[in-house]
Structure 1
Amino acid sequence: MNTAKARVLLVALLDMALDIVVPIAVYLALQPLGVPSVLSLAAGGILIAGKAAFGKLTDTGERDTALLLTCTIVSLAVMFGLYALGVAAAIALVAGVVLQGVGMAVSIIRRRKLDGFALLVLTELALGIVLSFVTSGDPRFLVARPAFYTFVAAVYVFATVFRGKAFMFVVSRPMAVAGDPKRDVAYDKAWENSAEFRRLERIGTAAFAVVLLAESVLRVVLAFQYNADEVVASSLVSQLPVIGLLALFILGYKVILVPRLSRLVEAEMAVRA
């Protein structure tokens, strides 16, 4: 594996690790301060949502750092500030989520493009506002809440099997191209010219949608295996499906599909050599 591919893979693995560790670490840090469980868990969720919405991973690993930091800090400050002023935890939580939505709108305006990923994140933020009102009474609902986002993501990913470019084709580009301009062109041409390439990318995308759907179901089931006062345990256990399922998917994708996809891209490069 060359340096560019290794760097992209390292960033992706770091992203996954942060998604798992941050919410639990924030919860454990805030609980001794007497912060309600719903806000402690929501704070970690805001950090992760900020990373997902505004931390655009590119071929060079660049991120929209200024927007990420500003929106996340302001959202957290408003949420905890309102709670400190005596506002109900549910209202304070919603205020923080709404501010993230505003930040996403700013990001869209700056890029002048509402792409599929931006639409997905906006949908998840809107869903988060609704769920904040519905589920804020039981900390287990906040532990399980990412399952609703994962379900929405599964629907979106599955839709790309039939419409537009397959999700795996889009997200695999940094790893497949590794910063090589010629390979970047060949990657696009393989999608345009090879029915087999499109079929394989769609198979991988459909498999990933199934993984997301299975993870969302298992997260809910495992989160509610514990009592409401066992939030840390339920948080840890509910993360296990995403770790196991993603590991299996990545292994299967790399072993079964990547070699065949790489050959098709290299064939396009040979044609243009």
Structure 2
Amino acid sequence: MAPAAEGRPSSRWGFVITVLCDIVLPVGLYYVLRAAGAGEITALLLSGSAPALHTLHSAVRHRRLDTIGVFTLALLLVSAVGSLMTSDPRIALARNGLFTALAGVWLLVTLYTGRPFTYQALRTLLPGRTTALEKLWETDPAFRRVWRGLTVLWGVGLLVDALLRVILAYTLPVDTVPAVDGALYAVSWIALQIITQVVLYRTRTLAKIFGDRMPGRRVSSPAGTDEGRAR
């Protein structure tokens, strides 16, 4: 959601793996299991194990299970138990809406911290510009308003996305929901990204961050620094 990325292979591959394990694989596995004759609840629970396994793999690899990881595993477990106890597959379908809603609430909560989430994401993506970004944050009220506004945009956008997921989970045929749910991730992300980039351009925030450099073009940097690449 920030205007630039460092272009680091590890970051890119981490994002790709997350999308594959948490979105693509569960959807594909669900329909494979259904085609093999598995019931709705069985297919949903088994396909939902992909994000859980990804979370556990990351915890073992990094020797740390963070709060988000614990929450992910807990929600998957609760939705699985709830589906089994009620024999209602829609409980498992609605869990993605809960994930998204809590993410949206968390973004909005960061408005009351020292730095809103979108600005924190920007700093993470541009570690070589931390000093310059902090100077802008401390001295430029318009710069601060942009990032607070973008945090509101993403927080509210995720809450709307979550509401749509719950509505879809309880109105569409069960076998239709996983595909539509996966497509909604792409639609929501692209829409929010487009609005974000328009805001950054129209408010000249990109110019403040990159100066006369054109986002999207590799720039040379002195040895020992990493000025990154905008995208």
* TM-score, with structure 2 as normaliser: 0.71
1:107 aligns to what?
64
On the 8 A contact 2:136/2:143 being kept in 1, the answer is: yes
User: Out of 83, 103, 127, which is 1:135 matched to?
Assistant: 83
Q: Deviations over 1:5-57 (max 9, x none)?
A: 49667864674465432111112333455555434333433323454x57xxx
Tell me, in whole angstroms, the C-alpha distance in 1 between the residues paired with 2:4 and 2:184: 30
The secondary structure found in structure 1 opposite 2:171 is: coil
1:200 aligns to what?
146
The secondary structure found in structure 1 opposite 2:113 is: coil
* TM-score, with structure 1 as normaliser: 0.61
2:137 aligns to what?
191
The secondary structure found in structure 2 opposite 1:122 is: helix
Where do residues 49-198 of structure 1 align in structure 2 (5 Å cutoff)? 49-51=52-54, 53=55, 67-68=57-58, 106-108=63-65, 118-136=66-84, 137-175=87-125, 177=126, 181=128, 183-198=129-144
| Pair 1:191–1:15, CA change in 2 (3 A) | farther
- When the two chains are superposed, the root-mean-square deviation of aligned CA atoms in Å is 3.4
Whichever structure has more helix as a proportion of its residues is 1
| Residue ranges of structure 1 left out of the alignment (5+ in a row) | 55-66, 72-102, 109-117, 268-273
The secondary structure found in structure 1 opposite 2:204 is: helix
User: Out of 244, 266, 272, which is 2:187 matched to?
Assistant: 244
Deviation at 1:133, TM superposition (A): 2.4
Deviation at 1:105, TM superposition (A): 10
Which residue identity is paired with 1:261? T
Do structure 1's residue 21 and structure 2's residue 16 form an aligned pair?
no
On the 8 A contact 1:204/1:253 being kept in 2, the answer is: yes
Deviation at 1:191, TM superposition (A): 2.7
| Residue ranges of structure 2 left out of the alignment (5+ in a row) | 212-231
Deviation at 1:223, TM superposition (A): 2.0
| Pair 1:210–1:3, CA change in 2 (3 A) | closer
How many positions carry a matched residue from both structures?
205
Equivalent pairs: percent with the same residue? 23
Do structure 1's residue 216 and structure 2's residue 219 form an aligned pair?
no
Deviation at 1:265, TM superposition (A): 2.9
Question: Looking at both structures, which has the greater relative contact order when contacts are Cα pairs under 8 Å and sequence separation is at least 6?
Answer: 2
1:83 aligns to what?
none
On the 8 A contact 2:33/2:43 being kept in 1, the answer is: yes
